[in-house]
Structure 1
Amino acid sequence: MAGYVLVLAVIVLGGAIATVGDRLGSKVGKARLSLFNLRPRQTAVLITILTGSLISASTLALLFALSRELQDGLLRIGTIRKQQQAAERELAETRAQKEAIEAELAQSQVELATVRERLGQTNQILEQAVNRQTLTEAELNQLQNRYTTAQAELKQFEAQGTQLRQEIQRLQQERDTIQGRLRDVAGQKIALENAIRTAQERLAEVESQKNSLQAEIDRIQDQLAVANQQQQVLRDQQRTLQQEIAALEASRQRLEENVNILLLGLRRGTVSIRTGQVLASAVIQNVSDRDQATKAIEQLLREARRNAIVLNNPQNLRPTDQVIQVTAEDINRLRAQISDGQPYVVRILAAANYLQGENNILVVPQVARNQEVFREGENLATISFDPSQMTDEQIFQRLDQLFTVSNQRAISSGVLPDPVTGSVGSFRQIELVKFILDLKDYQGTVDISAVTPTPVYTAGPLTLSLVARQNQRVILRSG
């Protein structure tokens, strides 16, 4: 509306000034006035020119006075053009950034496909581990056969040793008898002078037999020494085989337990709770009397009952059913231990394997002092390798070794592991994959350290951060 008013004002003002100028020119022409020594006609033309200029000037003045935008547009047209050019350049840069982002998105999709492919490779590695387990069982059977054969050979050598000892004792008895006969012959020498020559010949024969017997004894003793050496070697081999068998037996027992659990689940139902599984856990501190300890234990047992019901889904459960069973001796022992005001980590563990739907679950408490095991920034283990010379699978295996060593050190230092898995923590696979991909960009030997980003206590869990250094300088950090 203001624009229409402005246009109307310009038209009215222009018409008024034109009318005044026309009348003024007419009067000047009629009066034949002369300005600046000009002719009357020229003076009339000059008046007309001044009137037109006045119209233009008044129009611009009115526009400038009533329209700030028009004033800015006419006086700052150069600046506006520069701003327009800058805006066009920014638009071009924005379009370039958009194209770059679209390219990065395409690259990310390619990397995602690569990660999925590596996950498939990881599954193949797991299948290979199962195959190696089968080979280990076969080797265990071979070692048991070798152990049986070695025991049979050992018994045979022991029997031979016993026979040789008996033969040596018999020869020693014969030698003693011969020596007794010699003493008898020497005593009868004076009385039997006529038979001395015969006795000397007999003595020579006896001496010859003695030498033969002594040589036989020496030979048998040498055989006995060789047999003892062989027996010692066999015993050493037996100890080595027993150690190998013990290790393989432990692996076999674990495998049999897993197989028994699976078979039991197939025969009778699904195993929902495993032996040693943590049903409840809490850090109890500032408990200084038995009443507070009793309340803390009851709260833990209630949590264990809830978790057991969720995991086991017992049939026909009534609100008054306890579900969780624990001995009074364990409760009294636990109450007495945690009542000294010190911080403790208490876990309620399943005492056996339980199938889906069972109503009575026996549990045992586990308690340990909850104290700081590792400080913030402590280095648990370090490995070194050149990532540019290794495949992703090889790097993953080396990092897995680093995690295994860190897990063992944490357990030996006092961090409570999961009784089922034997681990004290976990590392996010997406962060591990990203760390491996970033690590592939570096060449030369790199030191990878497993560091605790926060203090770690007995209750766990063990949280690790991977730090890569090259020439004592941090080049990469996970998380």
Structure 2
Amino acid sequence: MAGYILILAVIVLGGAIATVGDRLGSKVGKARLSLFNLRPRQTAVLITILTGSLISAATLGILLALSQELQDAVLRIESIREQQETAKQELEETRAEKAEIEAELARSQNDLGDIRQRLLQTNEVLERAVNRQSLTQEQLDQLQSRYSRAQAELEDFEAQSRTLQGQIQRLQRERDQVQSRLRGVAGQKEQLEAAIKVAKDRLSQVESQKQALQGEINRIQTQLDEADQQQQLLLSQQRSLREEIAALEASRQRLEENVNILLLGLRRGTITIRAGQILASGLLQNMGDRRQATSAVEELLRQARRNAIVLNNPQQIQPTDQVVQITQQDVDRLVDQLADGQSYVVRILAAANYLQGESNVLVVPQVAPNQVVFQEGENIASIALNPSTMTDDQILQRLDQLFTVSNQRAIASGMLPDPVTGSVGSFRQIELIKFVLELKEHQGNIDISAIAPQIVYTSGPLEISLIARQNQRVILRSS
């Protein structure tokens, strides 16, 4: 509205000045006045020129007085052009950054596709393992039912055996009575001999029945022993399947977390610190009072701050900026726990995902007693395989399952895993390849065990040695 009023005022003022100039020029012409020794006609032309100049000056003055934008456009034209050139350069740089981000987005989308494919494969393996567990459970139920029936038959045969034993004892007592009567009564000798013969025949029949029942009892006992062995084998397979299912489930969860983290990075930018990432860690022990515990916690927080600055690269950071944020309640609880003088593993974890350049990182503490998890030489997990019938990839896959089961058992025993990767240690790739090549030189079934070469504590890491045995004899050991 103010612009319209300004335009209207300029038009009215220009018309008024033009009218005044025209009338002034006419009067000067009629009066035949002369200025600066000019002719009257030239004087009239000069008056007209001055009037036009006055109109232009008045219009420009009003516009400059009432419009700040026009003042900037007229008086700052050079600086505006320089800003325009700078804006063009920034636009070119922005376009280049856009191209780089689009390339990074394409690579991230390819990675996302690979991770999704691996997730599908893991889900298929998990489904097959669950089906195998169901089939094993059905076989175990059938075997237990057969075991119960065989146990009932054995109890029946034992009852019959006890009955026959009683009959044998009764017949033996009758035979003794008959022999006693033979010695006392000579007249009844033939009858008693016939009765003894009948008793012996019955005794022989009972003995035959006893032997047959004993053979049947032995056969059933053998079947029960075989059933017990099958039951133990099925239980061992069931435990192995459960461990494999737990390992596959953990792998599937890690893949899903990686997919979620990758999707978040595609939506928001480059993630430099992930949720649960360890920014600082330490083994704290022998803290005699709260003062020592507080000093140790502050040192861990300073270490976390340095690592956060290196990873996140915040802009315009000041030496006094905290960067790492933690609640006072978490600090107080941590100090109270450390002040009891026991040995603890303390880790400072990122509470969420943070993008590059963010200057505030919220952290949470993680604390656990530092205890012995595995003794030196303890067997952590075992597998069986025949390397002569397997490819290198198949052997590596079985060893990877051994490492996964070892990892899960270590976590279940109290070791603290890496919150991002879910692992508690690693095995050197060159040693693994060397072990596989040497393993391929052997024939037959081989048992491979993951052994703790030294005492392992909660703080980790988990270092394992691979030992291959054949017929209870060590044939290969990783260095």
Q: Normalized against structure 1, the TM-score is what? A: 0.49
Bigger Cα Rg? 1
